[in-house]
Amino acid sequence: MKHQIIKYLFFNCLVVLLAQSCGIKKFIPEGERLYTGAELELDTIGEVEGLKEVKVELTSLIEPNPNTKFLGMKPGLFFHYKAQREKPGFIYRFLNKSFGEEPVYFSEVNPERVEELIVNRLDNNGFFYSRASSETILKEKSASVNYTATLQEPYTLENYEVDMDSLPIYDELSDIVKKSPLSKDDRFDLDLLKAERERLDFNLKQRGYYNSNANLFIFEADTNQYKNRKFDLFLRLKKKAPKKTAIPYTIDSITVYPNYSIEGDTLPLSKQNITNVNGTDFIQNEYYFKPELLETYILFKEGDLYNANTSRVTSNRLSSLGSYKYVNIQYSELDTAMTNGKGGSLAADIYLAPLTKRSLRAEIQAVTKSNGFTGPGLLLTYSNRNLFNGGETLSLSTHFSYESQLSSGDNSNLSSIAWGVKGDLIFPRSIPFSPKKFRYSVPKTKISAGVDYLRRSQLFTLNSINGSFGYTWKENRYVYHQLDPISVNYSRLSKVTDEFQQILDDNPFLQRSFEQRFIAGLLYGFTYDEVSDLDKEYPIFFSTNIDLAGNLFSLIDGGSGTILGSEYAQYAKMDVDFRFYLRWDREQTLVSRVYAGWGVPYGNSETLPFVKQFFSGGPYSVRAFNIRSLGPGNFNAVSEDSSTDYFDRSGNLKLEANLEYRFPIFSYLKGAFFVDAGNVWLTGNYEDLENDQQTSNSSNTLFTDGKFESDWLNEVAAGFGFGLRVDIQNFVIRFDLASPFRVPYQPKNDRWNVPFFGNNGNKATLNFAIGYPF
């Protein structure tokens, strides 16, 4: 009854406001008429194709735009007028600020100007000798305009060729024109001709024409040969074009300064500091970078024709080394006169300003988790950016954290201590492959090793050692690869308390997950990412990861299923993440995401290792539920102890979907509305483990409720929420408040919930995180 009354009052208020917005004529000043818009009609003389597209383009020229209509009314204009009163009141001030519009009067309209714009645009599109006219429709308090454009049959291209000359640039132009997107029967289009000039300039700069410029070219259209509105297009250089713009340049010398300082002139003058490698001079006061390695990142050589693209890619490669904060390639003209028909010469100087070689960083952290653990942390990182004078980066880090569970009852004394040491050594080249095989960017070889210790009071101690060897590289601006042919992890569970041993005994699935101490195999990741390209209105993101483990061990273990006395894991795991972004007006974005992951144990394994299983819920997943509080399936742990049922909430199959609308509020503050859905499940045959569970006197229904079956849609968790994000130069602090409207672990007929107001499951979950969820 209460909700019905609120809806009734809201509906009546809306009707009253909209009805009042119809009566805006009384607000229009004396001598003014409200501009209500314009119509455009096209007449044609002769055959004209693509009229729909032409009309859309011409309509965009009509200005100004009238005030916005909604159901035949102008609420934005009404709110503006109401807010201009002496005492408008809070509501009208708010509505005007949020939705109000300044009135558009007919006195601001210039039909003659619009006619000129229409005729000019028609000329630019080949509709020469077309006309435009207008008719004004005046009413008591409003006015509109009807425009008419009479289109002649457009001129179309018959032939496109170069008006040849003796200069060598004309031979190059003739070759470039053969691959032109302009083709016979194309309509004359000034924008296409401008794009063609840019294409010509781009291609010439790849063929040695250092001083080429798009403004050098001129097109001449000849219609004298035809009587059926055809034209021939001729390309030539402008008569006043400088001579040096029409000659190719070769690179006469290359000089590299590997330790250049941008604070002052530090160029060494002594010839003793010069090292020549394959015709390239390296000059450095102090030995900073090995010349024989640095030379492999430079893609142009002495005697090559100048190539702007090769120069740009070389600059990107040198920047990606990780050793330099400043890379600048400068060219100096040595000879701009024609010499034996060979053109001019360039001297290339490459200035490289190093980053600070060594750095030490300390971070004090405060961590709070959804399972109640809170505490401080310390992170120390040492970096050396040029360890062996070949751009190698050494990173050594250590971390320590202490967490305690802030809750009463049985969980009040739980605490966690964790520490670890990790080392990464990155080589800016592919060992043992040559970096010259990768033109777009420098591939990197990464060697990692680490040790971790975790002590969870009243439960267990976990020690682990990990190491990997692999490569990362960018194929182009969108495609990124990561390949770790060697990835090894060894973990050992010790000091198991009676409480945690009982958890393992009651859950054979979890027990088998912890018994697999060795994880060794191959990892591959592929990413296609257009999101950083702000020019794309509909960018996509796609990534997939493949994880194969245990196959090599299975060939050498002799059938024992162990390596060095410890059991190893054998499985195949894959995940796929796809996102579609729809961008429009003022940073507004609608993001849709679909994620799927599946892991299959086989051979030596009955389950996935615990650290390789999927979980759902939390700030980067289904945000209406706490981290790792969902699944598998409709499983609902009987224990109220969050520190123990935490281990049950995992599976080897994960499906998830998200929809999020992002919008700006003001300055650095952004907002969002979102819907999340997903869960994890168990797949495969776990009969032996089920039998073990049935004899463990456990009331757990993990295998029964957690299996992925045909009615899996009934076990999908879903939630709705809204968020605030502080976004300062891509550093994002995120707060998301969400509530479920579908709770899978409730009884089958009682899983739907009213977000934020229902009594089915948790009412709301606040997520705090760094960065966007996806």
Q: How does pLDDT run across 610-664, given as a tens digit for each residue?
A: 889 999 998 999 999 988 889 899 988 655 555 556 677 889 999 999 999 999 9
Residue 448 has what pLDDT? 97
Residue range 89-99: average pLDDT?
82
> Which one is predicted more confidently, 65 or 505?
65
pLDDT above 90 (res 73):
no
Residue 12 has what pLDDT? 42
Residue 373 has what pLDDT? 63
Q: Residue 272: which pLDDT band, with cuts at 50, 70 and 90?
A: low
Residue range 302-322: average pLDDT?
93
| Cβ contact 445:435 at 8 Å | no
> Which one is predicted more confidently, 504 or 437?
504
Task: List, as own/partner pairs, every contact residues 637-644 make where C-beta atoms lie below 8 angstroms and the sequence separation is at least 24, other chains included.
Answer: 637/700, 638/699, 638/700, 641/410, 641/411, 642/371, 642/372, 642/411, 643/371, 643/372, 643/405, 643/411, 643/414, 643/459, 644/499, 644/503
Cβ of 333: how many Cβ atoms within 10 Å?
14
Q: Dihedrals φ, ψ of 232, to 5°?
A: -100, 140
Distance between CA atoms of residues 641 and 627, nearest Å: 15
Distance between CA atoms of residues 115 and 135, nearest Å: 11
pLDDT above 80 (res 440):
no
Which segment of 93-97, 169-173, 210-214, 591-595 scores lowest on mean pLDDT?
Answer: 93-97
Residue range 518-545: average pLDDT?
94
Residue 758 has what pLDDT? 74
* Alpha carbon separation from 449 to 106, 361, 445, 466, 558 (Å, rounded): 73, 20, 14, 6, 28
Cβ of 552: how many Cβ atoms within 10 Å?
15
Which segment of 57-66, 69-78, 151-160, 451-460 scores lowest on mean pLDDT?
Answer: 69-78
Cβ burial, residue 25 (10 Å; 0-12/13-18/19+) = exposed
**CB-based contacts of 613, cutoff 8 Å, min separation 6:** 513, 599, 650, 651, 652, 680
Q: What is the pTM of this model?
A: 0.77
User: SS3 of 181, please?
Assistant: coil
Q: Which residues pair with 467 in a beta bridge?
A: 449, 488
Residue 376 has what pLDDT? 87
Query: What does DSSP assign to residue 73?
Result: B
Give residue for tokens 């034996």: 340
Residue 26 has what pLDDT? 85
Q: Which residues pair with 145 in a beta bridge?
A: 38, 136
> Which one is predicted more confidently, 118 or 12?
118
pLDDT above 50 (res 21):
no
Tokens standing for 204? Answer: 């010439």
Give residue for tokens 């409480």: 499
Residue range 126-155: average pLDDT?
94
Give residue for tokens 């979102």: 674
Tokens standing for 653? Answer: 């199959």
User: SS3 of 713, please?
Assistant: helix
Residue 689 has what pLDDT? 64
Give residue for tokens 């010509």: 200
Cβ burial, residue 499 (10 Å; 0-12/13-18/19+) = middle
Which domains occur in the chain, in start order? 20-66+104-152 (3.10.20.310), 156-246 (3.10.20), 249-354 (3.10.20.310), 362-496 (no CATH), 536-774 (2.40.160.50)
Residue 330 has what pLDDT? 96
Cβ of 152: how many Cβ atoms within 10 Å?
17
**pLDDT-above-90 percentage for the chain:** 56
User: SS3 of 483, please?
Assistant: strand
Tell me, letter by letter, the H, E, C secondary structure of 332-371: EEEECCCCCCCCEEEEEEEEEEECCCEEEEEEEEEEECCC
Residue range 308-315: average pLDDT?
94
Q: Residue 371: which pLDDT band, with cuts at 50, 70 and 90?
A: low
Cβ burial, residue 51 (10 Å; 0-12/13-18/19+) = exposed
**pLDDT-above-70 percentage for the chain:** 88
